[in-house]
Amino acid sequence: MTQQVKLFIDGEFVHSNSDKLIPVTNPATQEVIAQVPCATTTEMQQAIDSAKAAFKTWKEVPVSERARLMMRYAQLLKDHQGEIAAIICEELGKTVEDAKGDVWRGIEVVEQAANIPSLMMGETVENVARSIDTYSYIQPLGVCAGITPFNFPAMIPLWMFPMAIACGNTFILKPSEQDPMTVNKLAELFVKAGAPKGVLQVVHGAKEQVDTILHHPDIKAISFVGSVNVGQYIYKTGTDNLKRVQAFAGAKNHMVIMPDANKQQVINALVGASVGAAGQRCMAISVAVFVGSAAEWIPEVAAAIGKVGPGHYSNDKAAYGPQISPQAKARILSLIAQGKKEGATCLLDGSDCQVDGYPNGNWVGPTVFSDVTTEMEIYKQEIFGPVLTTMTVANLDQAIELVNSSPYGNGTSIFTASGAAARKYQHNIEVGQVGINVPIPVPLPFFSFTGWKGSFYGDQHAYGKQAVRFYTETKTITARWFDDDIQVSGPNMSINLR
């Protein structure tokens, strides 16, 4: 009998009473490995009520104790990294090393959450006026929520709830219904680390459960990662309901290759950055912009990408796994076909990819296009698959103009041996995260993940110092103390301090 994924409410894993069940399938085989329930209205309210009640006591827990909880949690995640990765492999199809990397990048954020005492320090100035001091405190918001995508089922939830909870909030997590079991394992280890009852809730479901989070008055802040259309909906609906929202949305990331770059480094970087993780990452390089004579390298790039391919996670020679669903595969194949129809040259076509022993897998082989223009759908849309489009420009100025004309601004990189070219690029490019001879510039968590333009809706970004600002409010106190024998002057009728 297929297992039913449990909800995690008020400190316990519980069976849902819902009759709405969504199958969870192994994307390499189409085998149904679990059923995930759509939490009922009552269950959603129970989770919110539990989080609201827990906040009253959790916010009073000393910040040093919250930090030690995160230290214990980080160690448990390290101890169980392989176990978590195995769950990711089964329900998402990632290769083992990619799945382990998913977990590790999440662990790094938990380690940063353990630094919360220094991150939550306020400010103070003595004698802002005569015998008057001003100081500020950073205090938690209340019940916060996160809505996470399928592609990083460990890392992205760990971007959210550890930082929010370390700040003194409680948290409701709604993971993707396509791979929900990873998050349940994260919650199990959080309890083992010593998290009090009600501090974290995990609810499962689809749009109805998301809408409950967006509209419920007791939820103060929402973090979302996903597609551009859903991101816009989350941001607008959440803010219309007077919530603080950060919504990470679509991307179309460009790598600019200068003629003075190291060719082999460029080729190696493009192989991993374009088709790694089956292209299912918001920081994947999907457009390679070759400047001047560097365009001569395009055939060699296509040949190198053609040497890798998808496979089952049990095969250590597999470069990446399947697409998450048949629908995702069909969309990618449709865009590949459209690219050919629109006149792009398909140097490498992965449309008919097969993997021995897994005839039902959602396989798409590595695909490379040249002669791509900005009017083509394969350029305009986020394909979210192992497809690289290549373009050529005459000089760096044209490359910058091309990248800046994109509606997205998640990530970009430049490969060059010129410090002047790199400096010009990083200064003028309108993208939040820039790599110099680094293909996928995802920052470590003592910085923040800082997408721009149509890749992000909100004010404060994920993890790092900006996450602390997102999950807290600042309270400023102006104080004056009188001696018993002080001579009191007349009333002050102005706003001046004296």
Structure tokens at 433: 């995260």
* pLDDT at residue 90, rounded to an integer: 97
Query: Where does CATH 3.40.309.10 sit in the chain?
Result: 253-407+411-436
Dist CA 489 CA 487 (whole Å): 6
Answer whether 463's CB lies under 8 Å from 112's CB.
Answer: yes
Give 439-484 pLDDT, tens digit per residue. Answer: 999 999 999 999 999 999 999 999 999 999 999 999 999 999 998 7
Give 27-65 pLDDT, tens digit per residue. Answer: 999 999 999 999 999 999 999 999 999 999 999 999 999
Structure tokens at 124: 């103070």
Catalytic residue among 38, 144, 167, 282: 282
Query: Where does CATH 3.40.605.10 sit in the chain?
Result: 3-250+451-478
Dihedral over Cα of 48, 52, 54, 59: its sign = positive
Count of positions (residues) in the chain:
498
Q: Which of 264, 231, 251, 309 is nearest to 441 (CA)?
A: 251
* pLDDT at residue 2, rounded to an integer: 87
CATH 3.90.1150.200 fits 3-250+451-478, yes or no: no
Q: Does the annotation mark 282 as catalytic? A: yes
| Weakly modelled stretches of the chain, pLDDT under 70 | 1, 485-489, 498
CATH of 253-407+411-436, one of 3.40.309.10, 3.40.50.10420, 3.40.50.920, 3.30.470.10: 3.40.309.10
Q: For the sheet containing 143-147, what is the strand order?
A: 12-14, 7-9, 200-202, 170-174, 143-147, 219-225, 244-248, 456-457
Query: Which residues, other chains included, contact 388 with Cβ-Cβ below 8 Å and sequence gap of 6+?
Result: 270, 274, 275, 285, 286, 287, 288, 301, 305, 366, 367, 368, 369
Dist CA 366 CA 364 (whole Å): 7
Determine if the pTM surpasses 0.75: yes
Element (H, E) at 409: strand 408-409
Q: Which of 283, 264, 161, 273 is nearest to 222 (CA)?
A: 161
Query: Which residues, other chains included, contact 17 with Cβ-Cβ below 8 Å and sequence gap of 6+?
Result: 40, 42, 43
Amino acid making up residue 301: V
* pLDDT at residue 368, rounded to an integer: 98
Pairing of strands 285-291, 253-257: parallel
